[in-house]
Amino acid sequence: MTDYYEVLGVPRDATTEQIKKAYRKLAREHHPDVAGADPKAEERFKDVSRAYEVLGNPDKRRQYDLGSDPSSPGGGMGGGFGFQDIFETFFGAATGASAQRGPIPRARRGQDALVRLDLDLADVTFGTHREIQVDTAVVCPTCTGTCCAPGTSPRTCEVCHGLGMVQRVARSFLGQVMTNQPCAACHGFGTTIPEPCTECAGEGRVRSRRTLAVDVPAGVDTGTRIRLTGQGEVGPAGGPAGDVYLEVRERRHEVFTRDGDDLRATLSVPMTAAALGTVLTLETLDGPQEIDLRPGTQPEQVVTLRGLGVGHLHVGGRGDLHVHVDVEVPTDLDDEQAELLRRLAALRGEERPDARLAAHHQGVFGKLRDKLAGR
């Protein structure tokens, strides 16, 4: 039996990537277009291709390591005879591989890809357009997905004659039975690739970096997935592409906290402004907005600005912006300021106010803090 490891010049414990690299190097050296009409080079190229066809396929390599040459006629067709084979023969109820009739398609659907998409609060509030780069598999530009070297084509399997299946006769306690099994020589494809494309090593696809454009709708949140149909990796032999899923992760904002589609923020105002009332200008995601504080505004009072929150996903409209007022009590009074406050307390009869206890009502942030703490 030919030593395919020696043909490719790799050790028996070589990785798939090492085998692929060795094949590409040797295939370029001995390709007829490079080596000319040298018959030895042509034969060497076929040997290298045959070695890679076996060692580059995990199932065929496993058979080869066990002492069977899957590339030779009848190679790799040994094995036990199970109850399912008998059941299929007498009752016609096979499942799985035994139920396969005819060659299986070489082209298969590519895998899906999951890509994380980091967004700012403004992006999820109004929606945004992004261009992202993904490393994926695309159709090989050299063989256009045929898996064959230019000027060549797949060859009908000499073992199964293109059926992708072979018949096996075995003896059992019921006598001789005949079953259909996937052809080990062509792996059930019905064809072999005598001269694989050197660009893609017979895969029909190559790795490439692509730029994808995506319109992110308003209202997405951390964990939301956006599906880009048919933008994933191309399948083997140029098969249909899978999908790309963009998983959103929203970055924390330094001012605003998201509560569903509402936004919350804290506004610190001096005690005098809360007592007398004032009009302030706030910088929101929509630009400067005026907020009217009524005289006598209390700590933790909430002022709501309608329609300045996050956009509602799919249904239109927006949430609200809730501003929680934090009244600042001065701690660095000079003598004149302290005297003025004492005069105010006297005028209001509050020099010695009555102490009154009442039930404690948490603000929204206090409730959230206790919930996170498990209280």
8-12, 284-288, 292-296: segment of lowest average pLDDT: 8-12
Whether 147 has a binding-site annotation, put simply, is no
196-210, 224-238, 346-360: segment of lowest average pLDDT: 346-360
pLDDT at res. 30: 74
Q: Answer yes or no: are the C-beta atoms of 232 and 245 closer than 8 Å.
A: no
Region 316-344: what's the mean pLDDT? 91
What domains sit in the chain, N to C, each tagged with a CATH number?
Answer: 1-72 (1.10.287.110), 103-154+193-251 (2.60.260.20), 257-372 (2.60.260.20)
Rounded-to-integer distance, Cα 205 and Cα 115, Å: 21
Judged against a pLDDT cut of 50, whether residue 28 lies above it is answered with yes
pLDDT at res. 89: 40
| Cβ neighbours around 135 below 10 Å, total | 11
Judged against a pLDDT cut of 90, whether residue 265 lies above it is answered with yes
More confident call, 70 vs 92: 70
From 147, 60, 144, 51, select the one nearest 105 (Cα to Cα): 147
Rounded-to-integer distance, Cα 207 and Cα 24, Å: 15
Kindly list the distances between the CA atom of residue 320 and the CA atoms of 224, 259, 278, 345, in Å, as whole numbers in the listed order.
Answer: 21, 10, 22, 38
Judged against a pLDDT cut of 50, whether residue 94 lies above it is answered with no
Write down the mean pLDDT value for the chain.
Answer: 83
Rounded-to-integer distance, Cα 202 and Cα 19, Å: 13
Region 302-330: what's the mean pLDDT? 93
Kindly list the distances between the CA atom of residue 289 and the CA atoms of 48, 126, 174, 253, 256, in Å, as whole numbers in the listed order.
Answer: 73, 17, 88, 18, 15
Q: What is the tally of helices (H) and strands (E) in the chain?
A: 10, 15
Whether 148 has a binding-site annotation, put simply, is no
pLDDT at res. 72: 61
Whether 197 has a binding-site annotation, put simply, is yes
pLDDT tens digit sequence for 95-109? 444 444 678 899 999
Give 85's pLDDT tier (boundaries 50, 70, 90). very low
From 142, 290, 276, 163, select the one nearest 208 (Cα to Cα): 142
pLDDT tens digit sequence for 39-60? 677 788 888 888 888 888 888 8
pLDDT at res. 351: 78
Report the percentage of the chain scoring pLDDT > 90. 53
